[in-house]
Structure formats: C-alpha cells, structure tokens
C-alpha cells in the first residue's frame, strides 16, 4: 500500500479513499481535526490606593564655575604688506590682522593694526543653595467584595 499524499490526508469531507493503482484496493483513512476556542475574562483580585507625596529639602552645592573673558589690545602697525595675512597664534594670543587698501598710483597692502586676543580663564567657587525634591509613595491594599474581612496593611516605598 502507498502512503497518502498531503492533499489526500487533508480531505475537506473528512474521509477519502486512496486507490493503489497496482491492486485496485480501496483503503479508507479517517482524518480528524480538533479546534480550540479561548476566551478571556477579567477577574478582580484586589484593589490598592496609592498616595504620593513630594518632599523638598535645601542642599548646599559648591561646584567650580569657569569664566572666560577676552582681552583685546589694538597694536598699530602701519606697514606695507604684499597681500592678505592669515590669522596666527602666538602662545595663547590670537593675532587678527586688520588690512586696508590704499589707492596710490598703484594698489598696496597696508597693515594698519593687529588685534591681539588673549583668553583669560579663572575658576572660582560660588556656593548656592538649591532645592531638591523626592517623592514617597504609599500603597494601601483595599478590601474587595470577596476579601471584605481581610486586614489591609499599608506599605511604604521610597
């Protein structure tokens, strides 16, 4: 006898004959299918009451603060140059050339001045009082219709 094919095993009528071409015998294989149907229902197992309180406290914070100031010094140069001069650095001083075109019989570059920019940094402490808040939560079990006689015990959670 041959094995049933997939299409023969899933016969919509439930039972189908399989014919072996060599013996002309008919074999009946019953096909059984189960199905499942689920439902959900809410079931109250208890109730709780939650209280939240915000608490404030004053705390002194002393962290270093950075302050930067820029000091600009104008240095007169009044010297003829061949073309634009790029910004350059001399240590912690940035030098920015200020150019002017002067019309003579020919055009020349005159370096009128340089701006020397130096960044001064200072660190100082300035204590400040800030307000910090934290919350506290209280959870209280409430009786349900099925738990009327049971004691409720409040719990505190920070």
Question: What pLDDT is recorded for position 28?
Answer: 78
| Three-state DSSP class for residue 129 | strand
Question: What pLDDT is recorded for position 76?
Answer: 92
Question: What are the Cα distances from residue 138, in Å, to 50, 65, 97, 153?
Answer: 6, 40, 69, 11
Please tell me what DSSP assigns to residue 143: -
Q: Give me 22's structure tokens.
A: 């060599």
Question: What pLDDT is recorded for position 125?
Answer: 87
Rounded to 5 degrees, what are φ and ψ at 8?
-75, -35
- CA–CA separation, 56 and 64 (whole Å): 24
Question: What pLDDT is recorded for position 9?
Answer: 47
50, 69, 80, 52: which is closest to 140 by C-alpha?
50
Question: What pLDDT is recorded for position 94?
Answer: 93
Question: What pLDDT is recorded for position 25?
Answer: 67
- CA–CA separation, 20 and 151 (whole Å): 75
Question: What pLDDT is recorded for position 22?
Answer: 60
List the pLDDT tens digit at each of the 158 positions of the chain: 455 544 444 544 444 455 555 656 677 788 888 888 888 888 888 888 889 998 999 999 899 999 999 999 999 998 889 889 999 999 999 999 999 988 777 778 889 898 888 988 888 888 888 888 988 888 888 887 664 554 555 555 55
Question: What pLDDT is recorded for position 89?
Answer: 93
Question: What pLDDT is recorded for position 20?
Answer: 52
Question: What pLDDT is recorded for position 6?
Answer: 47
Question: What are the Cα distances from residue 14, in Å, to 8, 17, 32?
Answer: 10, 10, 7
């Amino acid at each position: 006898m041959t094995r049933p094919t997939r299409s023969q095993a899933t016969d919509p009528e439930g039972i189908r004959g399989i014919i072996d071409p060599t013996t002309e015998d008919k074999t009946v294989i019953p096909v059984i299918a189960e199905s499942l149907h689920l439902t959900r229902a809410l079931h109250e197992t208890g109730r709780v009451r939650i209280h939240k309180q915000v608490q404030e406290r004053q705390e002194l914070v002393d962290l270093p603060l950075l302050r930067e100031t820029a000091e600009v010094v104008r240095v007169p140069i009044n010297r003829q140059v061949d073309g634009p001069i790029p910004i350059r650095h001399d240590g912690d001083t940035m030098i920015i050339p200020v150019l002017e075109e002067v019309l003579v019989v020919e055009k020349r570059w005159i370096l009128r001045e340089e701006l020397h920019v130096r960044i001064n940094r200072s660190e100082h402490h300035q204590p400040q009082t800030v307000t910090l808040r934290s919350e506290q939560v209280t959870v209280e079990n409430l009786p349900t219709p099925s738990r009327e006689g049971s004691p409720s015990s409040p719990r505190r959670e920070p």
